[in-house]
Structure 1
Amino acid sequence: MKKSTIGTTIAILIVLTAIIGGAVYHTQKNNRFVHSTTATLFFHGGGSSYRAETGMVNAAKKAGVTNTVIRADVTNNGKVTLHGNMHRGAINPIVEVNYENNRQLNFNKHGEYATNVVKMLKKRYGINKINMVGHSLGNISIIYYMLRNGQNKDMPKLEKQVDIAGHFGGLTFDGIPDDLKQPAGMKLDSNGKPNYMNATYKQMTAARKAYPKGQVAVLNIYGDIGNHTDGRVDNISSRSLQYLVASRAKSYTELKVTGKNAQHSKLHDNKQVDQALIKFLWQRKK
């Protein structure tokens, strides 16, 4: 056999090996995750936008979870506009929710906004199962969505929720309404129940009946940079979610993140958080 022929044959074999190896790797990578039409909605924090969700979403895409990401813009009056390409039956689609009024302190409005997004997804794409991920004020959309729809069988079923840096028990900094302030001397019992509750938390306790029994798996992530705070929200406030949902949840898990990247506004760009999200929401069980 001529040297040129041998060289050509070797080159072809190398290319074929690379293609086959790449295909096997891609298949193994994708097989790590569930293949589901469940849509995962991300809700940003106060004074922010969908861009704050990009790090987490890109981490999921890079891992091979999905190739489908769209954005849902929501105006102050609740009108929803969808941007991007998605088809019915898309695998593990992600929806980046973007509120025009990103400092809305009427928490019932957050429930209305989230409801309108979910209704639009059901109408346009036939979505009947969802996951929800919230950061900071974005967690309020999840709770108030469930206060409205937890017992509504006509709405898509919430399967999993991830709460990041939630301020359920209230906030301690100045300039916020009294009904959102964390009460002085607040402590939690073994069930996560605060000894003192502000007006908003009292309203949210209706979630203890709104959530369907044994349906929603909950992961509650909070940061501790020292002194039991993420620098913006006390851990005790974030952990008070337990009393609101744990008795009805399919499962309830807390994850404390430490270090400088556990600061409140850095948690949505934290690799440990990314890994926890991906594992909890999409990784196949062995």
Structure 2
Amino acid sequence: MKKSSVGISIAIIAVLVAIIGGAVYHTQKNNRFVHSTTATLFFHGGGSSYHAETGMVNAAKKAGVTNTVIRADVTNNGKVTLHGNMHRGAVNPIVEVNYENNRQLDFNKHGEYATNVVKMLKKRYGINKINMVGHSLGNISIIYYMLRNGQNKNMPRLEKQVDIAGHFGGLTFNGIPDALKQPAGLKLDSNGKPNYMNTTYKQMTAARKAYPKRQVAVLNIYGDIGNHTDGRVTNASSRSLQYLVASRAKSYTELKVTGKNAQHSKLHDNKQVDQALIKFLWQRRK
């Protein structure tokens, strides 16, 4: 065989090996994750937008979870407009929710906004199962969605919930209405029940009956940069979610993140948080 022919043969074999190897890697990568039509909704924090969700979403895309990401814009009066391409049956679709009024402090409105987004997804794409991820004020959308719909069999079923930097027990900085302030001397018992409750937390305790029994798996992620706070929200306030949902949840897990990137507004761009999200929401169970 001539040297040129040998060289061509070696080149062809090398290309085939690369193609086959790439295909095997891609298959193994995709097999790490469930292949589901369950839609995962991301809710941003106060004064923010869907851009704050991009880091977490891009981490999921890069890992091979999904190729389908759309945005749901919600106006102050609750009108929903969807942007992007998605088809019925899309695998592990992600919805970045974007509120026009990103400082809405009427928490019932958050429940209304989230409900309208879910209704639109069901109507347009036939979505009947969802996951929800919230950061800071975005966690309120999840709780108040469930206060409205937790026992409604006609709404899509919430499968998994991830709360990041939640302020369920209240906030401590100036300018916050009394109904949202964290009571002084807040402490939790072994079940996460606060010794003092503000008006809003008392309202949220209805979740203890609104959540369906043993349906929703909950992951509660909070940051500690020192002194049991993420710099904006105390750990006690974040961890008081336990009392609201754990007795009804399929599972309830807490994850404390430490270090400088555990600061409140950095948690949604934290690689440890990204990895925890991907594992909890989409990784196949062995």
In structure 2, distance between residues paired with 1:173 and 1:266: 18
- CA deviation map 1:32-60 (0-9, x unaligned): 00000000000000000000000000000
What percent of counterpart residues are identical? 93
Deviation at 1:80, TM superposition (A): 0.2
Instruction: Tell me the equivalent position of 2:218.
Output: 218
Deviation at 1:144, TM superposition (A): 0.1
Which residues of structure 1 form unaligned runs of 5+?
A: none
- CA deviation map 1:89-129 (0-9, x unaligned): 00000000000000000000000000000000000000000
Deviation at 1:18, TM superposition (A): 0.3
- CA deviation map 1:212-259 (0-9, x unaligned): 000000000000000000000000000000000000000000000000
In structure 2, distance between residues paired with 1:16 and 1:188: 61
Confirm whether residue 17 of structure 1 aligns to residue 5 of structure 2.
no
In structure 2, distance between residues paired with 1:55 and 1:185: 35
SS in 1 for 2:255: strand
Deviation at 1:185, TM superposition (A): 1.0
In structure 1, distance between residues paired with 2:228 and 2:256: 10
Deviation at 1:186, TM superposition (A): 1.1
SS in 1 for 2:248: coil
In structure 2, distance between residues paired with 1:18 and 1:85: 31
In structure 2, distance between residues paired with 1:215 and 1:285: 17
SS in 2 for 1:66: coil
Over the aligned positions, Cα root-mean-square deviation in angstroms equals: 0.3
Which residues of structure 2 form unaligned runs of 5+?
A: none
In structure 2, distance between residues paired with 1:31 and 1:100: 37
SS in 2 for 1:146: helix
SS in 1 for 2:78: coil
SS in 2 for 1:162: strand
SS in 1 for 2:187: coil
In structure 2, distance between residues paired with 1:211 and 1:74: 25
Equivalent residue runs for 1:46-85 within 5 Å? 46-85=46-85
SS in 2 for 1:218: strand
- CA deviation map 1:121-180 (0-9, x unaligned): 000000000000000000000000000000000000000000000000000001010000
In structure 2, distance between residues paired with 1:11 and 1:119: 54
In structure 2, distance between residues paired with 1:45 and 1:186: 23
Q: TM-score if structure 2 supplies the norm length?
A: 1.00
In structure 2, distance between residues paired with 1:239 and 1:164: 10
Equivalent residue runs for 1:92-241 within 5 Å? 92-241=92-241
SS in 1 for 2:52: helix
In structure 2, distance between residues paired with 1:47 and 1:90: 31
In structure 1, distance between residues paired with 2:130 and 2:242: 21
In structure 2, distance between residues paired with 1:228 and 1:195: 17
Aligned residues: 286
